[in-house]
Amino acid sequence: MKLEEIAHKLGGTLHGDGSLEIDRVASLDAAGDGAISYIAGERYINQFKKSRASAFIVPKGLLHDSKPCVEVADIQLAFVTALELFASVPKPLGLMPGAHVDKGAIVGKDSSIYGGAYIGRSTLGERVKVYPGAFIGDDCNIGNDTVIYPNVVIMDGIDVGERVIIHGGTVIGGDGYGFVWDGGRHRKIPQIGTVVIGDDVEIGANCAIDRAALSKTEIRQGAKIDNLVHIAHNCIIGENSLLAGQVGFAGSVEVGRNVAMGGQAGVSGHLKIGDGVIIAGKAGVTKDLQAGEKVAGFPAISHREWLRVQKSLEKLPEMRKTLKDMAHKIEKLETLEEKDA
């Protein structure tokens, strides 16, 4: 692709030779002849100078020497667009040898079902990809353009939207964890609900998202979930919310839109987390949170308050010492006072 074409597609301003042929995107360090790289800001200027890339995407105003450049308003978005320009789009494969597809299954056109995939009596949209070892049970609906990576498990009756990406080993629709004590044993509460995954959701590797007891567990449109996340039965994860690695939820938590949770954070059961809440990594949320709250720690408190407590904590051993000294001084004062009296 010619550099002028790239400049045009990024909506940027071309500096230098537009006829330059570019065949890939690479980091400043790794780039060589034929690659376009990008510089995110001033602090990469030395790497930029040393880089052997043929051309660069640069943020507006950043000086660009004599190297061929495309100057753009939003460097992050331009970079993503450039990556997309060079992404290979593999041809659809259809049903590959060794794929198990139930006679009652419906698979839309231009889909790719790899050998070793197992698809029950379910409906798959168009341009869906199901990799080897992935399992889709009966009565599922999988939307157009969805990608299901190797060894993903989607149990019976699950709905998955369009353009969803599910990474390797993730299990969707396992039974929720529900038991009732029956004298001498835990008796299983049958989990007959489902899971509904909205459009444009991405779910990382080796996550576990349980089916609801009676109704549905929901991951709503645009939510992005990192690896090894545990979502218990009846939870709702709101639109565009972000869950970092190893986050966990007890049952029936309702998470609003645009919530962000740091890694290894957890939420107790039956709580409501308002829109736009930010939960720091490792936090443990034990009560409802209002829209826009920012919390940290366990039990989670306001982030500002948590910082104050942490600062005080460091001083705690010193405080104990001060307290002892003061007790001594007071005692002395009291003795003197008695003498006076």
Residue list 267-326, contact with its own copies (CB under 8 A): 268, 281-282, 284, 298-299, 301, 305, 308-317, 319-320, 322-323, 326
Asked whether position 48 contacts its own copies by CB under 8 A, the answer is no
The nearest distance, CB 19 to its own copies, in angstroms, is: 25
DSSP 22-80: --EE--TTT--TTEEEE--SGGGHHHHHH---SEEEEETT---TTS-EEEES-HHHHHH
Report the 10 Å Cβ neighbour count for 24. 17
Q: How far apart are CA 10 and CA 141, in angstroms?
A: 36
**In the Cβ-directed half-sphere of 282, how many Cα atoms lie within 13 Å?**
2
Asked whether position 333 contacts its own copies by CB under 8 A, the answer is yes
DSSP 136-178: E-SS-EE-TT-EE-TT-EE-TT-EE-TT-EE-TT-EEEEPP--
The residue among 216, 215, 267 whose CA lies nearest residue 241 is 267
Asked whether position 61 contacts its own copies by CB under 8 A, the answer is no
Applying CB under 8 A, the span of 4-12, 51-59, 62-70, 108-116 interacting with its own copies comes to: 108-116
The nearest distance, CB 66 to its own copies, in angstroms, is: 25
Nearer to its own copies, 45 or 319 (CB): 319
Q: How far apart are CA 237 and CA 229, in angstroms?
A: 12
Asked whether position 56 contacts its own copies by CB under 8 A, the answer is no
Number of residues that bind its own copies (CB under 8 A): 106
Give 184's DSSP letter: S
Asked whether position 47 contacts its own copies by CB under 8 A, the answer is no
Asked whether position 185 contacts its own copies by CB under 8 A, the answer is yes
The nearest distance, CB 114 to its own copies, in angstroms, is: 8
Among 108, 118, 144, 275, binds its own copies (CB under 8 A): 118
Give the angle subtended at the CA of 90 by the CAs of 113 and 37, to the nearest 5°. 140
Among 52, 109, 186, 287, binds its own copies (CB under 8 A): 186
Asked whether position 91 contacts its own copies by CB under 8 A, the answer is no
Tokens of 275: 């829109």
Asked whether position 33 contacts its own copies by CB under 8 A, the answer is no
To the query of whether residue 233 is one of the catalytic residues in this protein, the response is: yes
Tokens of 333: 């004062």
Contact 37, 18 (CB under 8 A): no
Binding mask 231-270 for its own copies (x = CB under 8 A): -x-------x-x-xxx-xxx------------xx-x-x--
Asked whether position 222 contacts its own copies by CB under 8 A, the answer is yes
Binding to its own copies (CB under 8 A): which residues in 154-183? 155, 165, 167-171, 174-175, 177, 179-180, 182
Q: How far apart are CA 143 and CA 242, in angstroms?
A: 22
Instruction: Just list the catalytic residues.
Output: 233
